[in-house]
């Protein structure tokens, strides 16, 4: 995966990402419901993108903490292959995941305002 070195994964990506997932865990149900509505607006069913909805952010955090760069890269590649096998268009997959990030950002900013660096006024 271009742009992410093994060193950066361990030092700057893994821990903050796991911490963000921990924050989101308290709102898993709410985030998942909002995301399901957004997916349906894109004419996608939630289980086409992820095997389990509601999203278990706490489990994802634990898995992320224990992951390696190689394992993470393999998971991303497998996830992309699964979406391709299911016939999910790349533009819809990207739109769906972007929407999930948009839904999650307010919870993260609220929980850790000093760590957030919004680019809007």
- 73/105 Cα distance (integer angstroms): 24
Q: Where are the domains of the chain?
A: 6-111
**pLDDT tens readout for residues 45-100:** 777 777 666 788 999 899 888 888 888 888 889 888 888 888 888 888 889 889 99
pTM of the model: 0.78
pLDDT band at 1 (very low <50, low <70, confident <90, very high): very low
């Amino acid at each position: 995966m271009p742009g992410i070195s093994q060193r950066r994964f361990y030092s700057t990506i893994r821990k903050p990402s796991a911490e963000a997932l921990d924050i989101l865990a308290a709102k898993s149900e709410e985030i998942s419901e909002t995301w399901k509505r957004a997916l349906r607006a894109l004419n996608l069913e939630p289980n086409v993108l992820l095997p389990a909805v509601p999203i278990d952010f706490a489990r994802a955090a634990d898995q992320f903490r224990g992951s390696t760069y190689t394992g993470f890269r393999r998971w991303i590649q497998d996830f992309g292959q699964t979406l391709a096998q299911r016939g999910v268009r790349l533009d819809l997959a990207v739109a769906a995941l972007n929407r999930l990030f948009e839904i999650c950002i307010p919870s993260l900013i609220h929980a850790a305002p000093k760590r957030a660096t919004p680019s809007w006024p």
